[in-house]
Structure 1
Amino acid sequence: MHRPRWQQEGKEPDYRFSLANERTFLAWIRTALSLLAAGVLLEQFAVTLQPRGVLVALALLLAVLACLLSAGAYQRWKSNEIAMRRGESLPHGLLIPVTAAALLMVAAVLAGMLLL
């Protein structure tokens, strides 16, 4: 099987670090899948919460966030692999703060809807 150019550069990292990086990637994918499921749940089953438009917007936001997390998880995995091959520090990204901010907003809006 053909390996991408970036996998051929630098020194092959210890397989334990590569496997840990892969487990982290899979954790991000599970999180994205959970967010997608939460969006579907909100749109399909939260029939008593009003206004309905806000609920649909929150469900859509969760679905978009799931898409961004899926793409970001791959990018983070790849960046970490490249950094390990080059012997560099692991890069920092926006995945964690963006996810936290979006979920904080969703939770705040849902709390407000439940209280009203």
Structure 2
Amino acid sequence: MDEAKDSAAESEPDYRFTLANERTFLAWIRTALCLLAGAVAVHQLVSPFRMQGTRSAVVLACVILSIILASGAYFQWRAVQRAMRRDEPLPSSTLVPILAVGAGTIAVLTSAALILS
């Protein structure tokens, strides 16, 4: 019964906003795929660093960040779409700080491995 009330209060947003939301979703997916490709490249092409396990840590960090971004992109897309349909304020995104911290972590790991090699 509550779901019927919720859907009755929704309206179709301007198609331009829906398409912009989809483009944002696809940008997050591209970023996740790039991180995954980077993980494969590091695993296959980079010689092991002097510090044991560093290469694996960089690969794992890229893969985990890729999974978080890909799944988070869907939930963010859905939340924004719901807010637009209900004429509510758009929700904030946690993906931006997650990506910043994740990319920073990968950069620090890689820099440390290169400096100590």
Both structures adopt the same fold (TM-score exceeding 0.5): yes
Task: Identify the residue that residue 57 of structure 1 maps to in structure 2.
Answer: 57
Q: Is the 8 A contact 1:7 1:82 kept in 2?
A: no
The residue identity in structure 2 corresponding to 1:55 is: R
Deviations 1:42-79 (A, max 9, x none): 11111153324111011011111111111100001000
Task: Identify the residue that residue 46 of structure 1 maps to in structure 2.
Answer: 46
Name the larger-Rg structure: 2
Q: Where in structure 2 are there 5+ consecutive unaligned residues?
A: none
Deviation at 1:108, TM superposition (A): 1.2
- Count of aligned pairs: 112
CA distance in 1, matches of 2:21, 2:8: 18
- Where 1:13 maps in the other structure, the secondary structure is coil
The residue identity in structure 1 corresponding to 2:98 is: V
CA spacing shift, 1:115–1:81, aligned 2, 3 Å? same
- Where 1:50 maps in the other structure, the secondary structure is coil
Deviation at 1:109, TM superposition (A): 1.5
Whether 1:15 and 2:15 are equivalent positions in the alignment is yes
Q: Is the 8 A contact 2:29 2:73 kept in 1?
A: yes
Whether 1:107 and 2:107 are equivalent positions in the alignment is yes
The residue identity in structure 1 corresponding to 2:96 is: I
- Where 2:42 maps in the other structure, the secondary structure is helix
Deviation at 1:93, TM superposition (A): 2.7
Task: Identify the residue that residue 66 of structure 2 maps to in structure 1.
Answer: 66
Deviations 1:63-114 (A, max 9, x none): 1111111110000100000000111111013211011101101101111211
Q: Spell out structure 1 runs of 4+ moving beyond 2 A.
A: 5-9, 48-52
CA distance in 2, matches of 1:64, 1:34: 13
48-57 or 101-110: bigger deviation: 48-57
The residue identity in structure 2 corresponding to 1:37 is: A
CA spacing shift, 1:19–1:8, aligned 2, 3 Å? farther
RMSD after superposition: 1.8
